[in-house]
Amino acid sequence: MNTSVTHGTVLVAGAGGVIGRHAAAEYARQPGWRVRGVSRRPPLDAAWEHLPVDLADRDAARTGLSKAGDTTHLVFAAYSEQGSLSAQIAPNLALLDHTLDALDAAGAPLRHVTLYQGGKAYGAHLGHFKTPAREDDPRLLGPNFYYDQEDRLRQVAEERGFAFTILRPEGVVGYAVGNPMNLLMVIGVYAAVCRELGLPLRFPGSHAAYDALYQVTDAELLARATVWAGGSAAAAGQVFNATNGDQFRWRHVWPSFARHFGMPLAEPQPLSLSEHMADKEEVWQRLVERHGLRPTPWRDLVGWGFGDFLFHAGFDNISSTVKIRQAGFGDCYDSERRFLELFERLASERILPPAG
């Protein structure tokens, strides 16, 4: 990976989530960096300093981040889930405002901010969109909090003299304790419960989604892209799609999942995971006790609605990664193999039961 990372102090807002957790860990592996992470929950075995700051509260953010007055790099992965697109704007814009203003009040010598967006920037939440999506595609009719955050970040960066980079992953694959918006856990827990009940592994979405082209972003790859962006002149002021660099159809990878978990494969059955997994907590608890798995409250284990959305999106979801490669970041993964590697890792860490 071609990078010119400079040393400094990084603050990761939203360090308890999948993206933030991996970004903080990646920076902590780099020599010469001091790393702080902001999250509501204390981290487990984190190699960085934790700040329990409520970024939604302006005064609390200012008080809590007064300890981060040496911050040179901000990685902003904080997010507030809301019930509608319009309701997402104010709270998510406030999270960014409060963080930037608190660091400014603390006199932080901020040099770079990394902000994350996603497929909603192209309308993936609305239905069919132009593919492969490119960073210079025009915006869509809002509301869309990505646009509001980006506009604010550009304005503040110009006023205060720091650089920024915006990264757009899709379907982030990784693990964070108690963070349910996690495709890896959707598949892993669903498979484990089906196997425990003696059922075959069925794709729980639409036939159109089973056959559509899809892409994912490995959380570790995204973390490396984040470190690269924070130290590369070619990334300053730019927006980049950041995915594994390949595409796949669920139809072609689902048989690999079935083989990995030691389960028979059956035809897709469209269903709502939110409804059909709601009463499966007792089944999961049996697996936790039998295999000595890490205890996590059922409500915090998996975001079934997240899986429902992805598995019923019956259209191609593809982004071009040419721009980020030409700028100097060329990391990639074979997504099918990476899924299997991560399932194995989660089993070894006693987060998922061992494969069949």
Task: Express each pLDDT in 283-316 by its tens digit.
Answer: 999 999 999 999 989 998 999 999 999 999 999 9
Q: And the tokens for 270? A: 């469209």
- Nearest Cα to Cα of residue 323 among 128, 120, 167, 161: 167
SS3 for 47-107 is CCEEECCCCCCHHHHHHHHHHHCCCCEEEECCCCCCCCHHHHHHHHHHHHHHHHHHHHHCC
Q: The tokens of 223 are what?
A: 């973390």
Q: Report pLDDT for 182.
A: 84
* Residue among 159, 156, 161, 67 nearest 115 (CA): 156
SS3 category, 305: helix
| pLDDT > 70: percent of the chain | 97
What residues form DSSP beta bridges with 13? 38, 76
Banded pLDDT at 179 (limits 50, 70, 90): confident
Catalogue the E-assigned strands of 99-159: 112-116
Residues 157-178: pLDDT tens digits?
999 999 999 999 999 999 877 6
Give pLDDT, residue 6.
63
Q: What pLDDT, on the 0 to 100 scale, is given for residue 46? A: 81
Q: Specify the amino acid at residue 98.
A: H
Per-residue CA distances from 294 to 193, 220, 287, 289, 342 (Å): 16, 22, 10, 9, 16
C-alpha dihedral over 272, 276, 280, 283, to 10 degrees? -100
Residue 186's CB is within 10 A of a number of other CB atoms, namely 24
336 backbone dihedrals φ, ψ, rounded to 5° = -60, -45
pTM, two decimal places: 0.95
Alpha helix (H) residue ranges in 243-328: 250-261, 273-276, 281-291, 298-301, 304-311, 322-327
CA dist 319 and 168 (Å) reads: 9
* Dist CA 331 CA 136 (whole Å): 22
Q: Of 231, 227, 255, 264, give the one whose Cα is nearest residue 242.
A: 227
Q: What is the pLDDT, as a whole number, of residue 225?
A: 98
Residue 147 CA to residue 85 CA, distance in Å, equals 12
pLDDT confidence of residue 3: 43
Predicted pLDDT of residue 1: 40
- pLDDT-derived band at 121 (thresholds 50, 70, 90) equals very high
Structure tokens at 349: 């860490």
Q: CA 44, CA 42: separation in Å to the nearest integer?
A: 7
